[in-house]
Structure 1
């Protein structure tokens, strides 16, 4: 449907012939009326209507009401004078910096609102229109949203972005069947072959709106998926299996299993998974040859019984919080290209046992050259930590933060662990070390270990420790003797600091 034919059915405000003051326009906006199109007078003080809806509208006032009240901060420019001869890129940067808004994707609309000169700049820069957002929850919160404006806004962004790659956010959580939202999503889906990044949030009942997503996404680099029942958020009820994946990634409306729907997302670089997750999705991800980062967000849930071990090419793995049945994930995948592993756990989860044996199996199966290891508040006792470090001798950066409440946890940063780090050739490539402990350890042992990592590598030909961060939880200061030894090392070139 063309915009011209569509616009004839829109609720529009018709201006009387002549000029209208800014005050009068403000009254119209407060009343909820929206002119579909109008032009600015070049003086910047008055507005006039366009002569016909059949010509290309000068600008589209389809911003959310919350975004137009108060009006955006626009640079005060003496428009009666000749416009300074600056490149369009400079003008765009000035306007973007002056536009304070949580939804920055609407900035191009604001650029069009200044004057014809700004409109021409905005319409001639396709990359300004590549961020597209359809967010149901924000619309509901606004309370004054006119549904047809979603369709109109998305149409113009797709039209003016031409063939540029798109960064898309589709949030259908809370969707109640509004057809205008469905039409807006349909338009975005029609251009899925242009998606460079996609952030998708939807309940299973809304996934059918995404069934037209192209089976080939040649430009997709970043993917964020959140599929969950709204009623299940915040409690233990979770969906099992990515059973509806074909609707997300296939043209076929039904009857196809996820394992028959392998999508060649060869350009996919980063994947963030929230709330809903199992091995079926990996049938669509493992074909990516440049997948660099896999993030498992809090409250992910896995299924047991993955069967065979699946290989993924991600070089970085981040586990935020401690997903349920995470041991099943750790045992079922291998990352031969893994160079960075980051696991962070909430204080409230410290009492949950961490599957150390599963983590060991992951590292052994991957046979990778891990260089970065970050373990924050992960309850791994000393002996298990030593076993883990034994299988990753290529480590260059090591960060260990003990849990804040270790009542049910055996400490990691003990004298035994510190003596282990002092013995060469343990971690011969280690250059950066960050240790944060939660109990009264012997700080003298810690400093002895640090000094040995600085001096002895010269004798054995290993890497010298170049950066170290030390600290204690609960705001407890380090001993004076420790501070003095740290200052001495700092004078000799070591980057040493307090946590």
Structure 2
């Protein structure tokens, strides 16, 4: 039978009352599997089993008592440990590099982070969604308030830096009159930002949804217009024109340098919305969706943003003779007024964004831009065949311009078209290319990289003066079309260590060393060992960054 240990009220866990041997356990298992019936256990054996079970119950109770005791000790230890963890974290924070930063450096960081504070009315009573969908807590869209809530030092720094509070984006929906009280807190928050911004120039974006409701909007808009003299940049969009919401007549805007109105009243080609900004002596940037006649001082504009199909582009440029930067956005059609190209010797930067092929080609046919040095083309929704290679080359040749910066975002063109374009831009210093989402139109994954390699045996080289190269590739590991080794060889061939014999020899061939390389793969992983040689170049002075789907590799 099972051996029975002596009873003991307090003992170690090993001193148990019953202890079945291996043989007894095997016998028990056999009995459980094979013996059955009314006489399987004799009366004597039944009494013996009851005694053993009683002892086992006492052992179980003993273990429960020990477990409860140890759990209590664990809870006591955890209670003692938690304050130590808190104290440890506080002591460790004294060694934090952040604490060693001066207030001046911290403020530079804060200014970088607090580019915009989104003030959106809540609740949003409309079925139409707001311009900005909040996917995180509201405080994350208010970086200045978030910073001022971290600690007393940051709070004091934020309150002593009015410029952090001067970048405001206001999105508001006017509810029914019976729900107007819900906006009281929203208006108070806007007032807090205006008050804490002191006398600093304001960067203000305003979005008003639904039809004008003067009684609801009046407190907010009156408060904003009281600070009109501080507006440095002003952007408006909404369902109705600006002047239907607020009266801006007789206001002066002595600091206003940038004005962008996406929705305005157009009465017979005359815009009362823009007329309100007649007194803006520093205005130099204007964004507008269409041609208009107004009292805006267009003769002093340097940067012009035109949207949604200006049909009389040349007429607009005649009104703005000093424009240096022209940006056209979302053009679906364009009707040139003359068969002869219009020559502008002031425009140095041209951006065509989200334009469709007919407009893109007609715009290139319309202009001669001999001073052009920056060309930006962006479109993420084009289909194949929308790149006019011959027209582009003809435009560059006809204008006799020296392009130093060429930027392509999501454009649909083949690698051969891209190479043809680069061949007519030998003065190029900065090249930025982001692949199209369409797999068959990804120019940087095939022939471009090998063609960028400098060969010392020939004096002919593609873009020989390239200083900075930024590439964003949409390819993945499955298609296997990106040659990592060729990319490394290309960078090595274009890097000339300052003062070296190779640098002097390349200079005689009209080639300059590359200075900055950035490569990012959106969906692809790379072998970091392949890019190991670039780390050596980085130590010599070349700035190299390689980022794959998992993060920075070089």
TM-score range, shorter chain: 0.5 to 0.7
Spell out the pairing of 1:85-234 with structure 2 (5 A cutoff).
90=160, 92=162, 96=165, 102=170, 135-137=207-209, 146-148=213-215, 150=217, 154=221, 157-158=224-225, 161=228, 167-171=233-237, 173-174=239-240, 182=243, 185-188=246-249, 191=252, 195-202=256-263, 208-210=271-273, 212=275, 218-227=281-290
CA distance in 1, matches of 2:493, 2:334: 43
CA distance in 1, matches of 2:227, 2:534: 58
Alignment partner of 1:429 is 2:461: no
**Partner of 1:422: helix, strand, or coil?**
coil
Tell me how far 1:203 sits from its aligned partner: 6.2
CA distance in 2, matches of 1:212, 1:100: 24
Tell me how far 1:194 sits from its aligned partner: 7.4
CA distance in 2, matches of 1:339, 1:199: 25
CA distance in 2, matches of 1:215, 1:405: 46
Alignment partner of 1:328 is 2:378: no
Q: Which moved more, 1:266-275 or 1:192-201?
A: 192-201
Tell me the equivalent position of 2:376. Answer: 342
Does the aligned pair in 1 maintain the 2:373–2:405 contact within 8 Å?
A: yes
Q: 1:338-397: CA deviations, max 9, x gaps?
A: 222222221x42424212222223322332222211223323333333332222221111
Report the TM-score when normalising by structure 2. 0.54
**Partner of 2:160: helix, strand, or coil?**
helix
**Partner of 2:289: helix, strand, or coil?**
strand
Tell me the equivalent position of 2:517. Answer: 468
Report the TM-score when normalising by structure 1. 0.60
Alignment partner of 1:496 is 2:530: no
Query: Structure 1: any 5+ residue segments left out of the alignment?
Result: 1-62, 77-85, 176-180, 228-241, 251-262
Q: 1:167-221: CA deviations, max 9, x gaps?
A: 444435346xxxxx74655524865797532221226666654374577864322
Distance of aligned partners of 1:214 and 1:434 in 2 relative to their CA distance in 1, 3 Å threshold = closer
CA distance in 2, matches of 1:285, 1:360: 26
Query: Structure 2: any 5+ residue segments left out of the alignment?
Result: 1-118, 126-137, 150-155, 173-184, 497-501, 548-554
Larger radius of gyration: 2
CA distance in 1, matches of 2:249, 2:320: 24
Does the aligned pair in 1 maintain the 2:352–2:360 contact within 8 Å?
A: no
Tell me the equivalent position of 2:177. Answer: none
Q: 1:271-326: CA deviations, max 9, x gaps?
A: 2222232334653466342x343222235532256433223423222232333521
Tell me how far 1:93 sits from its aligned partner: 5.5
Q: Which moved more, 1:329-338 or 1:307-316?
A: 307-316
Does the aligned pair in 1 maintain the 2:472–2:520 contact within 8 Å?
A: yes
**Partner of 2:305: helix, strand, or coil?**
strand
Distance of aligned partners of 1:126 and 1:485 in 2 relative to their CA distance in 1, 3 Å threshold = closer
Q: 1:34-84: CA deviations, max 9, x gaps?
A: xxxxxxxxxxxxxxxxxxxxxxxxxxxxx99749999997989xxxxxxxx
Tell me how far 1:487 sits from its aligned partner: 3.1
Tell me how far 1:328 sits from its aligned partner: 0.6
Tell me the equivalent position of 1:444. Answer: 485
Does the aligned pair in 2 maintain the 1:278–1:302 contact within 8 Å?
A: yes
Does the aligned pair in 1 maintain the 2:168–2:204 contact within 8 Å?
A: no
Q: Which moved more, 1:393-402 or 1:437-446?
A: 437-446
Tell me how far 1:468 sits from its aligned partner: 1.6
Tell me the equivalent position of 1:279. Answer: 312
Spell out the pairing of 1:296-445 with structure 2 (5 A cutoff).
296-304=328-336, 306-312=338-344, 313-324=346-357, 325-346=359-380, 348-407=381-440, 409=441, 411=443, 413-415=445-447, 418-419=450-451, 421-423=453-455, 424-426=459-461, 427-437=463-473, 438=475, 440-445=481-486
Distance of aligned partners of 1:304 and 1:111 in 2 relative to their CA distance in 1, 3 Å threshold = closer
Q: Which has the higher contact order (CA 8 A, sep 6+)?
A: 1
Tell me how far 1:334 sits from its aligned partner: 2.9
Tell me the equivalent position of 1:486. Answer: 534
CA distance in 2, matches of 1:213, 1:309: 34
CA distance in 1, matches of 2:369, 2:521: 33
Q: 1:215-268: CA deviations, max 9, x gaps?
A: 7864322211135xxxxxxxxxxxxxx4xx23xx25xxxxxxxxxxxx862432
Distance of aligned partners of 1:205 and 1:360 in 2 relative to their CA distance in 1, 3 Å threshold = same
Tell me the equivalent position of 2:108. Answer: none
Q: 1:393-430: CA deviations, max 9, x gaps?
A: 211111233334233x4855544762454244533321
Distance of aligned partners of 1:276 and 1:185 in 2 relative to their CA distance in 1, 3 Å threshold = farther
**Partner of 2:287: helix, strand, or coil?**
strand
Does the aligned pair in 1 maintain the 2:191–2:223 contact within 8 Å?
A: no
CA distance in 1, matches of 2:512, 2:448: 22
CA distance in 2, matches of 1:394, 1:223: 30
Q: Which moved more, 1:303-312 or 1:319-328?
A: 303-312
Does the aligned pair in 1 maintain the 2:413–2:443 contact within 8 Å?
A: yes
Distance of aligned partners of 1:133 and 1:413 in 2 relative to their CA distance in 1, 3 Å threshold = closer
CA distance in 2, matches of 1:454, 1:273: 40
